[in-house]
Chain A
Amino acid sequence: MRLGYYARLFGVQARASLTTAMQYRADFLVQGLTSLYWLGWNLVPLLVLYDDRTTVAGWSFGAALVVMAHFVIVRGILEGAINPSLGAVVEQIRSGAFDYTLLRPADAQFLVSTARFAPWRVLDVLGGVGLLIYAFVRLGQAPSPAQLGAGLVLLGAGLAVMYGLWIMIVATAFWVVRMDNLIYLLSSVFDAARWPASVFRGVWKVVFTFVIPLALMTTFPARALLGTVTWQAGIGCLVGALLVSVAARLVWRLALRSYTSASS
């Protein structure tokens, strides 16, 4: 019953986002072209890097391309499904329009997380999938069904981690009101997820594994597809995703209590 209720709610919100996107046809077109442009541009550093070497930190060009494809997919989901709504919440909290979210008898975190989608980002995700297929063709191998399954599960875990981090950032907006810069910062840091995690050394390795677990978002799902992930690491990813999700929920609920609402 509750599941059906939230499924319906999701449907209505998604339809509203789609309708909004359709209303601005020119924008739709421009966004599509931008997606293609970025897809191409993303490859440039990789091509430069592998121009005169065959492996970087043990990663061949094809394998690094698998990580890159994951980066494109995850970023497409981030820009298409997470950033639009959560960015809007920060603005709503500042203006006080968030009041109306709290007046609705549904979970506020669900409402804000599904409030806005950018449908054309589907193109990014499709581009990423295309890149993934190309990478495997180049490698001359194909993931087994088990590897495919593990890859999808770890991709899900990676997305959960990213969503959790973003929720925690947004939650801080309840206390400090202006949060835009932290969102930019996190978006910039996320850019590092285009590289296999083992490329990073020293302090960055620690930061990207434990503080902002970029490795969980792209490298581990990619390694699962390539069949190079141990099952211990896989379980570690799932536990990490669970911990981040629970922490995000707790922080969100705590933050909601200190919502002060802007004046009329």
Chain B
Amino acid sequence: MTIEVAGLSKHFKVHRRPPGLAAAVRSLWRRRYDTVKAVDDVTFTIARGERVGFLGPNGAGKTTTMKVLSGLLHPTAGTVRVEGHQPFRREPDFLRRITLVMGQKQQLLWDLPPSETYALNRAVFGVDPAQARQTIAELTELLGLAGLTDKPTRQLSLGERMKCELAAALLHRPTTLFLDEPTIGLDVAMQVTIRDFIRDYNQRHDATVLLTSHYMDDVVALCPRVIVIDGGRLIHDGDLRALVKTMIPDKLVSFTGGVPAEEVARLGEVVKAEGGRTTVRVPEARLREVVSHVLDRAGADLAVEDPPLEDVMRKLFKDKRAGAPAPAGEPAP
């Protein structure tokens, strides 16, 4: 196992203060602290070469977990092993095997071209010059960095900068990748580029990938397995498709024209109808019947899709909070 987490908890002491100037003045000498359980008794393992999506609402504890896994934070309780090391010891051998990409922070030197950061990382990670050249050539090709790495970072667009950030984070060829919102703020085309690149890197180097993203498409496209946490607790760990099927056992069937309005209502619940295209929600048991019916009427312009992962997540969190039993988590492949 590349990543082993058992009973991990991370608690923070935070300073609480009611609003207002009077309270602010009082808090100068008397402070009340509350304990926040950012991560609470979380257990999972990830095998070499797996790509795992790490999901949860804002503040669920995703980033905290990633920081513990990459050695930035001391766990409050529990044991963590990554690449055979205890992360918080920050041993050089461990740090050379992992990387953490944070979409909202940057390591590139702001006033200098990314190539200067690469030179720094090459020296810091002790990468052999020939290997560094080869890695940079490979990353340049895969990410389309040509012409970017010699411009000062501050002159790059957000998307260009993110590509350069990824290259800086991967220069030492880590085998475990922690990616925290690597596509945040990027347009769809750039998201696809980054996604393809991550998959490619994973396959080329048999690298383990743990990814968080607000864009469910990233997760659907990249991660066969998802770990879901909410309020610091693990609420699902298993196959993504199985989760979708358990939570919303319906399919979305969409088609253009051909089907009279009164028949559409009988097919299933209409989710969307715009621009002449109708989408209905159909229980899986009736899928075959509905599809053949629509095909008879509407011809070939028909699509069957899983419900969006956003809906699945919303339902999962709602059920959890209402105290419904968790869906049976399937063992990871």
Contact = CB atoms under 8 A, between A and B. Distances in A.
B123 interface: yes
A20 B111 contact: yes
A9 B179 CA distance: 26
A13 B120 contact: yes
B68 to A, nearest CB: 10
Contact of B105 (A11, A16, A264): A264
B95 A105 contact: yes
A contact patch SS: helix
B71 A20 contact: no
B71 A102 contact: yes
B123 A260 contact: no
B72 A106 contact: no
Given A9-B124, A264-B180, A100 B73 contact: no
A25 interface: no
Interface string A62-100: 000000000000000000000000000000000111011
Nearest to A100: B107
Contacts, number: 77
A100 B117 CA distance: 12
Which size bracket describes the interface of A in this complex? 20 to 34
A23 B154 CA distance: 13
Nearest to A95: B105
Interface in A124-152: none
Nearest to A92: B105
Contacts of B95: 103-105
B123 A8 contact: yes
Interface stretch (B96-104, B241-249, B251-259): B96-104
Nearest to B70: A103
B106 interface: yes
B317 interface: no
A23 B74 CA distance: 40
Which size bracket describes the interface of B in this complex? 35 or more
A5 B111 CA distance: 25
Interface in B26-65: 63
A12 B121 CA distance: 9
Contacts of B152: 23
Contact of A264 (B63, B74, B111, B119): B63
Contacts of B71: 102-103
A104 B152 CA distance: 22
Given A16-B112, A99-B105, A264-B181, A105 B123 contact: no
B67 interface: yes
Contact of B74 (A20, A96, A106, A257): A257
B12 interface: yes
A31 to B, nearest CB: 15
Contact of B120 (A16, A95, A97, A257): A16
Interface in B84-138: 90-93, 95-96, 98-100, 102-107, 109, 111-112, 116, 119-121, 123-126
Given A16-B109, A111-B124, A260-B73, 6 more contacts: A99-B72, A99-B102, A103-B71, A103-B72, A103-B98, A104-B125
Interface of A: 5, 8-9, 11-13, 15-16, 19-20, 23, 95-97, 99-100, 102-106, 111, 257, 259-261, 263-264
23 contacts: A9-B124, A12-B120, A13-B120, A19-B112, A19-B116, A23-B112, A99-B72, A99-B100, A100-B105, A102-B71, A102-B90, A103-B72, A104-B121, A104-B124, A104-B125, A105-B90, A105-B95, A105-B125, A106-B124, A111-B124, A261-B73, A264-B103, A264-B180
